[in-house]
Amino acid sequence: MSVVFYPEMGIDIVAPLMAIKKVNRIYTLGPVPVKRFDKQPLDKTMAYISKLMEFGDTRFDVRNEDNEIVEFFPDVGTTMKSYNFKTTKMWLSQYRQHDQSIVNLSYYYGARTTDPKLPFTEKIDYVVHKDFDFNETLLKNIKPLLKPTTMLVATVEALENFWKVPADVLNELEAIDIYDINKDQDTDLYSVNINDYLQKK
């Protein structure tokens, strides 16, 4: 079972669960999406994620090469636990998917990517880099938590601009089958071993 770190995930629980097999735990940091949920953004964020986990969502209107609307989360499930630990500013939710696997989400809404240390110490199997700015503090903090096999799941833009993955390597990568859409779409994600590119940072 895989441990995933997706900083500043917001409500995008789709990406890690569709991109990575056998996810057991997802760690994420705040902030919660205040612009989307202007009143009670924390409660509404967690409620929205639970809704996604329980009922799925097709409202993204992402289409595949055959112009068919892609359905998200064919294996949705049930919210088992949902607690707000106000002292540590962490919302813990547990979901059981229909295949009986358990997904634990630790949402550290009070933490930021610029904090001097991360609020967890568990080793990471996957790091997701999508729609946020990876900074040097975060890079320093994740290094002790990486395994030799830790994979980076990221957009082409992140791989090119921050991780400096060479063009010849990028051209050989295959899109992860999340949305079943073509390689030119901005939503495509690709995977490389993060340790291969940490040495360049």
Strands (E), 30-135: 77-85, 90-97, 102-108, 124-129
* pLDDT at 19 (0 to 100): 87
Cβ contact 27:5 at 8 Å: yes
Q: What is the pLDDT of residue 122?
A: 98
pLDDT of 18: 81
| Residue-range domain boundaries for the chain | 2-198
The CATH architecture one would assign to domain 2-198 is 3-Layer(aba) Sandwich (3.40)
Give pLDDT tens digits for 66-123: 655 445 554 567 889 999 999 999 999 999 877 778 999 999 999 999 999 999 999 9
